[in-house]
Every structure is written in C-alpha cells, then in structure tokens.
C-alpha cells in the first residue's frame, strides 16, 4: 500500500522519485490530464509544480487541517486543479465551496468538477464575503490563493465570518503579487504582521521553492481573545 502522509494524501514511489497523490473520488476521471495510478484503489498524481498546496506538502508542511469530512472554503478556485485534490481529500462526507470571480475560470471549474458532488462552485468576489452568506456556513478551513495585493485582508475578513473556532486558515503568499520590487522576505514578514494584526496567529509557514519561486504557504489560526 502507498504511504499515507496525512489522511487521504499519499506518497508513491516511482522511477522518477516520490509522487504525491490523492484517492480519486471519481474513479476513471481525470481533471487536468494528471496520471492515474492503481494501488488497490485509484490515485490521482498531484503535481507540486501545478498546485501550491501540493508544493507545501512536498516541502514538509506539518499542519494539514484538510482531512476526510472537512468543510473547506476555497478562495481563488481558478479552473479547479487544486480544488479537485481538496475534493478527493475531504471525500463524500466533506464539502468544498469553490469561490472564483472570473467567469471564464468558473466555466472551466464547473466542467472539470461537474461529477464531484462535494464541490459547490460559487461565482463571487472574495472581497465581499457576505455575498455568499446564504450558501456557505461555518467551515473547518479557509484556503486562499488569489494572488492579490490585499490577500491577507481577504483571508481575515472571510475567516472572521466563516471559520469555526479551532479551524485553520491557509494562504499561498506570492511575494510579487503584493510588491514586485520588494525582497520576498520583507513581503512575507509584512503579510504575517497584517495577519497578526487581524487577530490571526501564523502557526506554520513553508517556502515553496523549487516548485514556485518567491512563494510561501502560511497556516494561521484565529487568536483567542483573553
């Protein structure tokens, strides 16, 4: 059996080295041309060059709150590459609310995730979190990958409304989206400070090279007010 790095996330040995994979929720179906591997059950290979969450896990991320049964609010779903793996991990008992504001990406997301019953596409602006209050309830995880200068504020605002006590927020920080000219380390420190001022404590951060340049994935929890 393949090694399980976290519930629902596997590491496979291959000729080219180790491969990350998730158990395919819809056996036989590919989402973006990824490899399918049979190991008693079907696994979909998860490319760290195409998914920042996969990159972070390959780089040793320890806090992985996305598990079978989790309810995830995913901001910046794009065409659904990472969303589809999150859908695999949370499985039939879980839900992924996939928020995306670009109509074209949303169309691709709807097509690619059509047979994934646990993915709820939400065409909305993550800067206006009350816009999906009727659809989204309290969640275990807020995951954000919007690549926008105000990404930290978007995470704080969404977490305040939707994140359950004890839940986690995860953010892919692309330093160049915040400030093209600044040193990435300066940007990361500034983003962390913004999150902490928004009452979110960064509990883990991993740098994503060589999979992504000048990126970090940060995991935060809401600070308890004394």
Which residues lie near ligand SAM (CB under 6 A)? Answer: 51-52, 76, 78, 81-82, 99-102, 105, 125-127, 145-148
User: Min. distance of Cβ 74 from ligand SAM in angstroms?
Assistant: 7
User: Min. distance of Cβ 99 from ligand SAM in angstroms?
Assistant: 5
User: Cβ closer to ligand SAM: 217 or 224?
Assistant: 217
User: Cβ closer to ligand SAM: 41 or 198?
Assistant: 198
User: Min. distance of Cβ 11 from ligand SAM in angstroms?
Assistant: 20
What is the rounded distance in angstroms from the CA atom of residue 88 to the CA atom of residue 67? Answer: 10
User: Cβ closer to ligand SAM: 1 or 123?
Assistant: 123
User: Cβ closer to ligand SAM: 124 or 163?
Assistant: 124
What is the rounded distance in angstroms from the CA atom of residue 130 to the CA atom of residue 142? Answer: 15
Where do the H-state alpha helices sit in 59-133?
Answer: 81-90, 103-112
Shortest Cβ contact with ligand SAM: which residue? 76
Cis peptide, bond prior to residue 30, ω within 30 of zero: no
What is the rounded distance in angstroms from the CA atom of residue 126 to the CA atom of residue 3? Answer: 36
Helix, strand or coil, per DSSP, at residue 180 = coil
Nearest partner of 86 among 56, 125, 41, judged by Cα? 56
Around Cβ 28, how many Cβ atoms within 10 Å?
8
User: Cβ closer to ligand SAM: 100 or 191?
Assistant: 100
User: Min. distance of Cβ 166 from ligand SAM in angstroms?
Assistant: 24
User: Min. distance of Cβ 57 from ligand SAM in angstroms?
Assistant: 13
Nearest partner of 146 among 173, 128, 181, judged by Cα? 173
């Amino acid at each position: 059996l393949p090694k399980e790095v976290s519930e629902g996330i596997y590491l496979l040995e291959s000729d080219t080295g180790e491969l990350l994979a998730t158990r395919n929720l819809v056996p036989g179906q590919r989402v973006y041309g990824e490899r399918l591997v049979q190991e008693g059950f079907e696994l979909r290979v998860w490319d760290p060059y195409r998914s920042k969450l996969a990159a972070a896990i390959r780089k040793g991320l320890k806090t992985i709150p996305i598990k079978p049964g989790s309810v995830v609010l995913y901001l910046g779903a794009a065409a659904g590459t990472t969303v589809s793996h999150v859908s695999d991990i949370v499985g039939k008992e879980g839900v992924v609310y996939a928020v995306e504001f670009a109509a074209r990406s949303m169309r691709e997301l709807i097509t690619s995730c059509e047979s994934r019953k646990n993915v709820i596409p939400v065409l909305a602006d993550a800067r206006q979190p009350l816009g999906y209050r009727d659809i989204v309830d309290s969640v275990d995880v807020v995951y954000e990958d919007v690549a926008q200068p105000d990404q930290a504020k978007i995470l704080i605002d969404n977490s305040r409304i939707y994140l359950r006590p004890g839940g986690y927020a995860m953010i892919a920080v692309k330093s160049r989206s915040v400030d093209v000219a600044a040193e990435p380390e300066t940007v990361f420190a500034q983003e962390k400070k913004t999150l902490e001022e928004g009452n979110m404590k960064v509990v883990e951060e991993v740098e994503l090279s060589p999979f992504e340049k000048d990126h970090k994935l940060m995991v935060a929890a809401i600070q308890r007010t004394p």
